[in-house]
A and B are shown apart, each in its own frame.
Chain A
Amino acid sequence: MALNRSNWRATAEAIAIPIVAILFALILFGIFCAFCGKNPLSIYGAIYSTAFGNWRTFQGTLLRAAPLMLTALCTALPARLGLMIIGNEGALVMGGIGATIAGLMLSYGSLLPNVDQVKNTLGLPSLTVQIGMALGGILFGGLWIAAVGALRHYRAVNETISSLLMNYIAIALLNHLVEGPMKDPASLNKPSSFPIPDAYQLSNISGTRIHYGLLYGLIACIISYFLIQHTTFGFAARTAGGNVKAARIAGLPVGKLTVIICFLAGSCAGLAGMVEVAAVQGQANGSLVAGYGYAGILVAFVARYNPLAAAIVAVLLGGIINSGGALQRTFNMPDATVLVFQGLVFIVVLYSESLYGRLKIFKEAEVKAPPPSAASTAVPV
């Protein structure tokens, strides 16, 4: 595809606006820090060196970004269809439960294995168990959000509210399961399910501390991107997102599209839950609720629902979370500082949304109307 002038401008706009916005947020945060009596320049330095300074610290950033990429897709995909889903946390938790159930069944043949079963695992190859766990996570997370989509389409239940409510329900379910029906009696200090055997847990990418969850996240983002931007399915979804009536007239199965997209969205968050279980915790417990879901919403918004951009923004947010520690340790600022910083970034980036197409510098001087491909990336509702 040849880059014509206006295309070039749209690209430049899409790159320049977020960068300027983030720089502006940094300046605002610097002012905030200055008011608190800290030197903004050394704070910028600490943020940079902690988040991106060298390969060791950058691994920490990537590690934190991995679950965010997946949870971001849970908001980003349905958004292309015009649905505003914030049930990421719930889908992640459900995915974690699903993965744990699958993992326990495939390794012991029981959710509550007795001593014999713990000693004599079924002995399946680890790849089988891991795929099983991934499928469990995908299925549970996917169905959870698919239900939101189905309710939206068939009962017109507001998807934002229903997905929000389902977060609370999923977390309650998790707590109930790990303190009741799935509780490992040995987990006296922290109620948890039985652990998945070490052999079946996801390992790290060799030579790093990064687990394979990052790879899952990147692959999911790339697949989602191609699905949405370069397939007829994605085109249909975008059309339906732009105008439901027009889509119906064009004969698109809006209901099916909604449920499928929601399933895919939920399955991404569910996969994040699987990664948390299989690569980090080794079992299901309350630590699954770590706020990755809510952070993922933020990533999706900042990335303007673009799956590829979501991967980049996830790394950026991972860096912010990473550097939040340095602010505490080196500058004695409280934990809430990083929340203020995130809030500022988010507010400024949202404001910058409104600048698209309004800055003369990125406009072709009234020669042509902007090409439709550029217009379709506008925010759907």
Chain B
Amino acid sequence: MSTKRSLYLPRRQVIRGILATAAFGATSKLWTGCSSTPEGASGPGGDASPTAEGGKPIVIGFIYNAPKDDYGWNQAQATGAAAIASIAGIKIVEQESVPETKEVQEVMRNMIEQDSATVIIPTSFGYFDPHVLQVAKDYPEVQFFHSGTLWKEGLPKNVGSYFALVDEGQYLAGRIAAQASKSGKIGFVGAKPINPVLRNINSFMLGVRSVKPNVKMQVIFTGDWSLPVKEAEATNSLVDQGADVIAVHVDSPKVVIETAEKRGVLSSGFHSDQSALAPKGYLTGTMYNWGTIHKKYVELLKSGKTLMNGGIPHQVIGGIAEDYISLATFGPAVTDAIKKDVEATKAKIVDGSTVVYTGPIKDNGGAVKIPGGKKYPVTAQELTQIDWLAEGVSGKTS
């Protein structure tokens, strides 16, 4: 026994020694790791400051709730972010797939404390209440530009809303769809029956019916923002029911546009330009020009204006006139006659003689929702309360 022990002991000691050195090595590695952190942490700032020479760069933090290359909402926002990334004196930091929980609050705090961001742009609706509002209280010097229409008087001074309203674009897209449709049936694939989606559907339908009042639209809600199989099924079902134009409001319209193209019907996209996906059937679609807004913010920020000193308006909201949205490349089914009509209607929208939400507008149950004589510009607060589908749309909101 004792001999065995003496045989074993050294070996064990050797192994232990090796382990200990390894552990020491590892910890020392970690140590060097963290001793280099100050450089690492100040690195981004440090990198940029020599280029900005003198003035520190303005650090802008973008937060997305899903991967930023989702070919949808987030990608449109990220494209806007990229548009300002190369401007001198501006540095952007981005974080994607941030859920609407405490996580987003932590991300905002980290951006402010670690990356010295002074401007935060949270791009998801659900970030606003309670998350942006809570963090904004703790950092009164940091400005928060939230993508939405939710800022109201009485909320923190350092929070603002920016948004591109798509109603006018979808109205035009609806007019195009109505003129291109032969069957008089239009399908719409939506994610959830929430206000922005319902407005999108209604604006599209108002556009359609301003050309052909008898056209019917069938809506299918898939239930979530990104469910590729369900979206494809929905498109197929709509085509089976005779729809020959499919419009869409889900996170990424790619599935719907491609499926419609495979079925040989027309499609109207959303978020960005999808014309390359459907060379035959793509009509057009409303696309966001977030870059226009972001650039405007950057200009104001660089001239020292802020939300707090009143230099930057708390609501930067607009539509086609401000070039916050535009129509995507027209497909081959959009004839010259249709193009002319679009140009004419667009001019009327810009000069204010055509207003998308002009009463009387009934919902699909026949109740008058906007009385005759009323005209609501797209920025009207009343429109953010829409929870109904317009006449001619079959589908339910709950």
A–B in direct contact per CB < 8 Å: yes
- When the two chains form their complex, are residues B100 and A23 in contact, meaning their CB atoms are under 8 A apart? no
- When the two chains form their complex, are residues B102 and A330 in contact, meaning their CB atoms are under 8 A apart? no
Q: How far is the CA of A251 from the CA of B125 in the complex (A)?
A: 57
**Which of A98-106, A118-126, A179-187, A254-262 forms part of the interface with chain B?**
A179-187
- When the two chains form their complex, are residues B95 and A49 in contact, meaning their CB atoms are under 8 A apart? no
- When the two chains form their complex, are residues B67 and A335 in contact, meaning their CB atoms are under 8 A apart? yes
Within B109-149, the residues touching A (CB, 8 Å) are: 109-111, 113-115, 125-126, 130, 148
Q: Which of A23, A183, A188, A329 is within 8 Å of B94, CB to CB?
A: A329
B103 located at the interface, meaning its Cβ lies under 8 Å from any Cβ of chain A in the complex: yes
Q: How far is the CA of A325 from the CA of B110 in the complex (A)?
A: 8
- When the two chains form their complex, are residues A191 and B194 in contact, meaning their CB atoms are under 8 A apart? yes
A158 located at the interface, meaning its Cβ lies under 8 Å from any Cβ of chain B in the complex: no
B19 located at the interface, meaning its Cβ lies under 8 Å from any Cβ of chain A in the complex: yes
Given contacts A41-B33, A53-B37, A334-B67, contact A191 B101 (CB under 8 A): no
**Which of B24-32, B241-249, B370-378 forms part of the interface with chain A?**
B24-32
Given contacts A64-B106, A175-B223, contact A365 B111 (CB under 8 A): no
Q: Which of B23, B44, B105 is within 8 Å of A330, CB to CB?
A: B44
Q: How far is the CA of A329 from the CA of B61 in the complex (A)?
A: 9
A216 located at the interface, meaning its Cβ lies under 8 Å from any Cβ of chain B in the complex: no
- When the two chains form their complex, are residues A360 and B130 in contact, meaning their CB atoms are under 8 A apart? no
Interface size class of B (residues with CB under 8 A): 35 or more
- When the two chains form their complex, are residues B33 and A329 in contact, meaning their CB atoms are under 8 A apart? no
Q: Separation in Å of the A174 CB from the closest CB of chain B?
A: 12
Residues of B within 8 A of A149 (CB): none
Q: Separation in Å of the A52 CB from the closest CB of chain B?
A: 9
B340 located at the interface, meaning its Cβ lies under 8 Å from any Cβ of chain A in the complex: no
Residues of B within 8 A of A4 (CB): none
Residues of A within 8 A of B101 (CB): 276, 280-281, 287, 290
**Which of A55-63, A70-78, A238-246, A343-351 forms part of the interface with chain B?**
A55-63
- When the two chains form their complex, are residues B125 and A189 in contact, meaning their CB atoms are under 8 A apart? yes
- When the two chains form their complex, are residues B40 and A290 in contact, meaning their CB atoms are under 8 A apart? no
- When the two chains form their complex, are residues B384 and A16 in contact, meaning their CB atoms are under 8 A apart? no
Q: Which of B22, B30, B384 is within 8 Å of A48, CB to CB?
A: B30
- When the two chains form their complex, are residues A57 and B110 in contact, meaning their CB atoms are under 8 A apart? yes
Q: How far is the CA of A262 from the CA of B11 in the complex (A)?
A: 46
- When the two chains form their complex, are residues B12 and A41 in contact, meaning their CB atoms are under 8 A apart? no
- When the two chains form their complex, are residues B95 and A46 in contact, meaning their CB atoms are under 8 A apart? no
Q: Which of B15, B36, B115 is within 8 Å of A41, CB to CB?
A: B36
Q: Which of A44, A189, A287, A367 is within 8 Å of B33, CB to CB?
A: A44
Q: Separation in Å of the B285 CB from the closest CB of chain A?
A: 22
Residues of B within 8 A of A336 (CB): 67
Within A287-326, the residues touching B (CB, 8 Å) are: 287, 290-291, 321-322, 325-326
Q: Residue on A with the closest CB to B111?
A: A329
Q: How far is the CA of A360 from the CA of B259 in the complex (A)?
A: 61
B51 located at the interface, meaning its Cβ lies under 8 Å from any Cβ of chain A in the complex: no
B96 located at the interface, meaning its Cβ lies under 8 Å from any Cβ of chain A in the complex: yes
A45 located at the interface, meaning its Cβ lies under 8 Å from any Cβ of chain B in the complex: yes
Q: Which of A53, A175, A209, A329 is within 8 Å of B95, CB to CB?
A: A329
Q: Residue on A with the closest CB to B99?
A: A290
Q: Which of A175, A189, A290, A328 is within 8 Å of B103, CB to CB?
A: A290
Given contacts A42-B36, A185-B387, A330-B115, contact A287 B99 (CB under 8 A): yes
Q: Residue on A with the closest CB to B135?
A: A209
Residues of A within 8 A of B262 (CB): none
B335 located at the interface, meaning its Cβ lies under 8 Å from any Cβ of chain A in the complex: no
Residues of B within 8 A of A56 (CB): 109, 113
Q: Which of B4, B67, B94, B196 is within 8 Å of A189, CB to CB?
A: B196
- When the two chains form their complex, are residues B26 and A326 in contact, meaning their CB atoms are under 8 A apart? no
Within A21-66, the residues touching B (CB, 8 Å) are: 23, 41-42, 44-46, 48-50, 53, 56-57, 60, 63-64
- When the two chains form their complex, are residues B111 and A64 in contact, meaning their CB atoms are under 8 A apart? no
Residues of B within 8 A of A60 (CB): 106, 109-110
B93 located at the interface, meaning its Cβ lies under 8 Å from any Cβ of chain A in the complex: yes
Residues of B within 8 A of A50 (CB): 110, 114
Residues of A within 8 A of B94 (CB): 328-329, 332
Residues of B within 8 A of A330 (CB): 40-41, 43-44, 93, 115
- When the two chains form their complex, are residues B36 and A63 in contact, meaning their CB atoms are under 8 A apart? no
Q: How far is the CA of A48 from the CA of B95 in the complex (A)?
A: 18
Residues of A within 8 A of B35 (CB): 45
Q: Residue on B with the closest CB to A276?
A: B101
Q: Residue on B with the closest CB to A63?
A: B102
Q: How far is the CA of A45 from the CA of B44 in the complex (A)?
A: 14
Residues of B within 8 A of A248 (CB): none
Q: How far is the CA of A163 from the CA of B392 in the complex (A)?
A: 43
Residues of B within 8 A of A332 (CB): 94
- When the two chains form their complex, are residues B96 and A335 in contact, meaning their CB atoms are under 8 A apart? yes
- Interface readout for A360-379 with B: 1 if CB under 8 Å, 0 if not? 11000111000000000000
- Interface readout for A143-177 with B: 1 if CB under 8 Å, 0 if not? 00000000000000000000000000000000100
- When the two chains form their complex, are residues B385 and A360 in contact, meaning their CB atoms are under 8 A apart? no
- When the two chains form their complex, are residues A325 and B36 in contact, meaning their CB atoms are under 8 A apart? no
Residues of B within 8 A of A16 (CB): 19
Residues of B within 8 A of A179 (CB): 192-193, 398
- When the two chains form their complex, are residues A188 and B194 in contact, meaning their CB atoms are under 8 A apart? yes
Q: Residue on A with the closest CB to B194?
A: A189
Q: How far is the CA of A57 from the CA of B107 in the complex (A)?
A: 10
Residues of B within 8 A of A276 (CB): 101
Residues of B within 8 A of A190 (CB): 125-126, 194
Q: Which of A48, A63, A326 is within 8 Å of B34, CB to CB?
A: A48
Q: How far is the CA of A287 from the CA of B125 in the complex (A)?
A: 12
Q: Which of B15, B19, B93, B114 is within 8 Å of A360, CB to CB?
A: B15
- When the two chains form their complex, are residues B41 and A49 in contact, meaning their CB atoms are under 8 A apart? yes
- When the two chains form their complex, are residues B5 and A365 in contact, meaning their CB atoms are under 8 A apart? yes
Q: Separation in Å of the A193 CB from the closest CB of chain B?
A: 14
Q: Residue on B with the closest CB to A198?
A: B130
Residues of A within 8 A of B97 (CB): 335
A282 located at the interface, meaning its Cβ lies under 8 Å from any Cβ of chain B in the complex: yes
B339 located at the interface, meaning its Cβ lies under 8 Å from any Cβ of chain A in the complex: no
6 example contacts (A-B, Cβ-Cβ < 8 A) are as follows A42-B36, A175-B223, A188-B387, A190-B125, A209-B105, A328-B95
Additional A-B contact list (19), CB under 8 Å, known A60-B106, A330-B93: A44-B29, A45-B35, A46-B37, A46-B41, A48-B30, A57-B113, A57-B114, A64-B103, A179-B192, A209-B105, A287-B99, A290-B99, A328-B95, A329-B93, A329-B114, A330-B41, A360-B15, A361-B15, A366-B4
Q: Interface on B for A, CB 8 Å cutoff?
A: 1, 4-5, 8, 11-12, 15-16, 19, 22-23, 26, 29-30, 32-37, 39-41, 43-44, 61, 67, 93-103, 105-107, 109-111, 113-115, 125-126, 130, 148, 150, 192-196, 223, 384-387, 398
A-B interface, 3 closest residue pairs, ranked by CB to CB distance from nearest? A44-B33, A335-B97, A188-B195
